[in-house]
């Protein structure tokens, strides 16, 4: 097992993780809660590898267990995220109501090229070169009655049209949201 002190983190990052572990020790679902807090606290809203290794050591669990949780849940990010996020649902209801057009439109608007993204149209993520926007897809938001659905900076948009999504993104680009 890895010793927590061998992981190189800034003192304030170690103290933050230590406080989370102490605060939540023994509670059900503690790993999910701590991971969410770490990601929310990180300026680029992701979980750096060294943070995960340190957390595993502090909790006395295998690093592989931490990674299995992080990679299972789509809300966790292993790479830096843009300042703004646009998430497009690719579930069946959204797909049949035009979510692929939404995805293609926002990629075009933000200048994201296929080679800058990871994954396929059904599960992809890409961040603009300036770090302002991350575009992701999810399998389903569970909002099928509102299809097609997009999420912009954690706000769900139902029955969203290409033009409406374009306006939302443009407002963010101009700092008007």
CA torsion through residues 33, 39, 43, 48, sign:
positive
Q: What is the pLDDT of residues 25-46, one digit of tens each?
A: 888 889 999 999 999 999 999 9
Q: According to DSSP H, which parts of 29-139 are helical?
A: 30-41, 49-59, 63-72, 92-96, 99-110
The token duo for 19 is 């406080």
**Mean pLDDT value of segment 7-13:** 88
pLDDT for the residue numbered 141: 87
pLDDT classification of 151: cutoffs 50, 70, 90: very high
Mean pLDDT, residues 146-174 taken together: 95
For the segment 58-63, the average pLDDT, to the nearest whole number, is 96
- The model's pLDDT over 86-141, given as tens digits with 9 standing for 90+, comes to 999 999 999 999 999 999 999 999 999 765 556 555 568 899 999 999 999 988 88
pLDDT at 148: 97
Q: Give me the domains of the chain, ranges plus CATH numbers.
A: 4-72 (no CATH), 84-173 (3.40.30.10)
Helix or strand holding residue 24 (H, E)? helix 11-24
């Amino acid at each position: 097992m890895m010793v927590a002190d061998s992981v190189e983190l800034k003192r304030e990052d170690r103290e933050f993780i230590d406080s989370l572990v102490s605060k939540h020790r023994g509670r059900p679902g503690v790993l999910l809660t701590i991971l969410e807090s770490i990601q929310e606290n990180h300026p680029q809203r992701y979980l750096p590898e060294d943070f995960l290794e340190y957390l595993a050591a502090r909790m006395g669990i295998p690093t592989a267990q931490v990674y299995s949780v992080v990679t299972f849940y789509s809300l966790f990010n292993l790479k830096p995220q843009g300042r703004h996020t646009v998430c497009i649902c690719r579930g069946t209801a959204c797909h049949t109501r035009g979510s692929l057009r939404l995805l293609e439109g926002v990629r075009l608007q933000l200048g994201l090229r296929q080679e800058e993204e990871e994954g396929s149209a059904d599960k992809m993520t890409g961040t603009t070169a300036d770090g302002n926007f991350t575009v992701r897809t999810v399998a389903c938001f569970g909002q099928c009655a509102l299809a097609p659905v997009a999420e912009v900076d954690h706000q769900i948009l139902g029955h969203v049209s290409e033009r409406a999504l374009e306006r939302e993104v443009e407002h963010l680009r101009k700092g008007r949201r």
